[in-house]
A = this chain, B = another copy of it.
Amino acid sequence: MELLERRIRQDGTVLPGNILKVDSFLNHQLDTALLDALGAELARRYAGAGVTKVLTVEASGIAVACFAARHLGVPALFAKKAKSHNLNGAVLVARVHSYTYGRDYEITVAARFLGPDDRVLIVDDFLANGQAAQGLLAICRQAGAAVAGFGICIEKGFQPGGGALRAAGVRVESLAIIDRMDENGIVFRKA
């Protein structure tokens, strides 16, 4: 998606350790006009796919998930990382390793919000090693819900997450796929 690639080139910063900082517009400060456009594009790609719910994980996936869900006319649902005292009742849980935070954590969804009648679009800001993606897939599997596919803002194409999902037959729509990045620049995969 040209709009997103241009913004990444303009405002993204590549740091050592394969880190792409986009916190001025995507996952700390949020350019809500851009995020609305990204959500609209994900909704366009999944129009007619029978999506009943958009699933993401807190915190940085929530913004794009909300706009995508709004355009699809369905609810969004975000998995929680900390166990809230208020999240009583049956829960769906998966274990996820975070490379960003350097630790494992559990993601949790209240079981009553996801079931066999659902067809889920899983949305996130980044797809890299695919740890969070696999956790969200596991939660859908536990719920007996079908997965329409993934809707990702930025996929790091040089890391294995997206390839593994596609190899397993899962639909992955990434609005920008980075094949290489270093201090000299960013190379996007051609559409």
Point out which of A63, A74, A77 has the most chain B C-beta atoms below 10 A from its C-beta. Answer: A63
- From known contacts A59-B59, A85-B102, infer whether A77 and B29 are also in contact, taking CB-CB under 8 Å: yes
Say if the beta carbon of A30 comes within 8 Å of chain B: yes
Q: Categorize the interface residue count of chain A.
A: 35 or more
Within 8 A of B (CB), among A128-174: none
Report how many copies the assembly holds. Answer: 2
Contact, CB under 8 Å: A75 / B32:
yes
> Distance (Å) between the CB of A119 and the closest chain B CB?
16
- Mark each residue of chain A from 83 to 126: 1 if its CB lies under 8 Å from any CB of chain B, else 0: 01111000000000000111000000110010000000000000
CA distance A80 to B85 in the complex (A): 20
In the complex, identify which listed stretch (A1-9, A17-25, A183-191) lies at the interface while the others stay far away: A17-25
**Can you pick out 10 interface pairs between chain A and chain B where the beta carbons lie within 8 Å of each other?**
A24-B113, A29-B76, A30-B76, A33-B70, A36-B70, A58-B59, A59-B59, A59-B62, A63-B63, A84-B101
